[in-house]
Amino acid sequence: MKNYLMHINGLSVGENLKTQDVTNPATNEIVGTVPVGGEDEANQAIDAAHDAFGEWSNLTAYDRAVYLKRFHELMLENQEDLARTMTIEMGKPINESRGEVKYAASFIEWFAEEAKRVYGETIPTHVSGKRLQVWKKPIGVVAAITPWNFPAAMLTRKMGPALAAGCTIVIKPSSESPLTAMKLMELCEEAGFPKGVINLVTGSSSKIAKAVMESEKVRKVTFTGSTEVGKILIKQSADTVKNLSLELGGHAPLIVLDDANVDVAVKGVMASKFRNAGQTCICANRVYVQSGVYDEFVEKFAKAVNELKVGNGEDESVDVGPLINKAGLEKVNHHVQDAIDKGASIVTGGEASTTDGGVFFTPTVIGDADPSMVMMQEETFGPVAPVQKVETQDEAIALANDTPYGLAAYVFTESVGRGTRVIEQLNFGIVGWNEGAPSAAQVPFGGMKESGIGREGGHDGIEAFLETQYVAIGME
């Protein structure tokens, strides 16, 4: 077990502060401690980032890319250590953790290159003595508030474009899984980033968020987490008119039409639903299957689910690890019990277990689901897939859109015409068509409606950290 420290202005900070424990949800063992920082530490980090901004933003994109590429290399060289840290602090199966480290590193590499393609614009003038131009500038000091479910990738998806664009950053990782982020700070140190460019504070979320939201020096907040917290940040950003990027909750529908290749659909739902034990914002939360293929789909789906091995993520053969904590387990239990009470059937799974101090739920397929059930309305964040039979394509589309969320959706059909028409009517920021794993560094990730504001990844991901400055040049 290691006592980790915060990273502020190039120094390890917080030795004299109280600490909080980080526990492995597979065993309930303490695997590390972090300092409980508050407003003072957040303000020190903000000041450091503010002081470092001038020098960092004055470097060329080519110069900044040198640091980012070194950081990318170090992430890959330290893949195993980062993956193991992730697995013991939040339960992700080790093979998935290794995959996440590569995925996380890909954001750093991609944005190191993308910053070289941030172009301004020359706009045709209407007057011969004027020239009209658009310049792009880094937005300033950025605060990044990251979630526990992807401790590396959700951080680098924010850090990569922010740093590449010329911004400096203050990071607040989740208290559930801060250790991977803290290891990443050690690698940033090794990569030689100038002091103050990257800072990380741990501790009280409310106190750190208060300092960040009240500070006039912080010009942008980028947050991944619940819609509930996102709404609070929107309100708190008003006084200083901060720019916000919010990647919030989802409630993804997955539609299987009569003409789908059922094997492809089962592969897709397995990839989408059981990654990270169903604790992803884009995982399929409700499955709508047209009646012609319902029985075949449910049978093949249940067979595939029965083959998943549940256990401690450190075991190489485990497919589904624990849930993040007891509250997560209670929520899953409540959703499943509610569905049973309202007439759903358990096709397979449905059992909670707290063996060896861990918090596990067996991968579960629920049949005969309907919209009255809580799990068909709210994010379950667990390895549970409710399946509802539908008669028509239009019924599936109406049910899919009947939610305040709009992050991700999935459609399985072999018909180009049907797929195109269905997707045109779906109000979701990300759609997988015959595909259960749509994420990548180079694509825009984000949601419509209450699933958020803005996009991360891809070209939109760097635009989110840039200001547009219009320059009118008067000439003789």
Distance CA 365, CA 294 (A): 13
Q: Does 380 bind ligand SIN (CB under 6 A)?
A: no
Distance CA 117, CA 88 (A): 39
CA 76 to each of CA 4, 93, 215, 325: distance values in angstroms, whole numbers, following the listed order: 21, 18, 35, 29
Distance CA 438, CA 272 (A): 9
Least separation in angstroms between residue 438's CB and ligand SIN is 8
Question: Choosing from 281, 379, 450, 456, which is the catalytic residue?
Answer: 281
Q: Does 329 bind ligand SIN (CB under 6 A)?
A: no
Is 155 or 257 the residue whose CB approaches ligand SIN more closely? 155
Contact letters for ligand SIN, residues 271-290 (x by CB under 6 A): ---------xxx--------
Closest C-alpha among 198, 188, 190, 101 to residue 152: 101
Least separation in angstroms between residue 247's CB and ligand SIN is 7
Q: Does 110 bind ligand SIN (CB under 6 A)?
A: no
Q: Count other C-beta atoms under 10 Å from residue 370's C-beta.
A: 14
Q: Does 146 bind ligand SIN (CB under 6 A)?
A: no
Q: Does 252 bind ligand SIN (CB under 6 A)?
A: no
> Would you state the structure tokens that stand for residue 268, as one six-digit string?
């897709």
Q: Does 439 bind ligand SIN (CB under 6 A)?
A: yes
Distance CA 219, CA 213 (A): 9
Q: Does 97 bind ligand SIN (CB under 6 A)?
A: no
Cβ-based neighbours of 73, under 8 Å, separated by 6 or more: none
Do residues 6 and 12 lie in contact, with contact meaning Cβ atoms separated by under 8 Å? yes
Least separation in angstroms between residue 245's CB and ligand SIN is 14
Is 197 or 441 the residue whose CB approaches ligand SIN more closely? 441
Distance CA 397, CA 241 (A): 37
Residue 253 CA, chain-centre distance (Å), reads: 18
Beta-sheet strand order (sheet of 2-3): 2-3, 30-35, 19-23
Is 30 or 440 the residue whose CB approaches ligand SIN more closely? 440
Q: Does 208 bind ligand SIN (CB under 6 A)?
A: no
Calculate the dihedral angle through the C-alpha atoms of 304, 154, 88, 383, rounding to the nearest 10 degrees.
-30
Distance CA 34, CA 170 (A): 16
Number of residues in contact with ligand SIN, rule: CB under 6 A? 7
Identified binder of ligand SIN from the candidate list 149, 168, 227, 388, rule CB under 6 A: 149
Contact letters for ligand SIN, residues 31-70 (x by CB under 6 A): ----------------------------------------
Least separation in angstroms between residue 379's CB and ligand SIN is 10
Residue given tokens 């760097």 in the structure block: 462
CA 168 to each of CA 185, 193, 212: distance values in angstroms, whole numbers, following the listed order: 14, 11, 14
Distance CA 177, CA 173 (A): 7
Least separation in angstroms between residue 445's CB and ligand SIN is 6
Which of 136-144, 146-154, 313-321, 459-467 is the region at the interface with ligand SIN (rule: CB under 6 A)? Answer: 146-154
Q: Is 247 a catalytic residue?
A: yes
**Which amino acid appears at position 415 of this protein?**
S
Is 65 or 441 the residue whose CB approaches ligand SIN more closely? 441
Q: Count other C-beta atoms under 10 Å from residue 73's C-beta.
A: 15
Q: Does 401 bind ligand SIN (CB under 6 A)?
A: no
The alpha carbon dihedral of 42, 46, 47, 51 has a sign of positive
Q: Does 150 bind ligand SIN (CB under 6 A)?
A: yes
The DSSP symbol for 277 reads: G
Is 248 or 266 the residue whose CB approaches ligand SIN more closely? 248
Least separation in angstroms between residue 155's CB and ligand SIN is 12
Is 302 or 384 the residue whose CB approaches ligand SIN more closely? 384
Q: Does 245 bind ligand SIN (CB under 6 A)?
A: no
Least separation in angstroms between residue 103's CB and ligand SIN is 7
Is 157 or 389 the residue whose CB approaches ligand SIN more closely? 157
Question: Choosing from 39, 41, 96, 247, which is the catalytic residue?
Answer: 247
Q: Which residues pair with 52 in a beta bridge?
A: none
Is 155 or 282 the residue whose CB approaches ligand SIN more closely? 282
Which of 37-45, 145-153, 198-206, 301-309 is the region at the interface with ligand SIN (rule: CB under 6 A)? Answer: 145-153
Distance CA 460, CA 448 (A): 15
Residues belonging to the active site = 247, 281
Q: Which residues bind ligand SIN (CB under 6 A)?
A: 149-150, 153, 280-282, 439
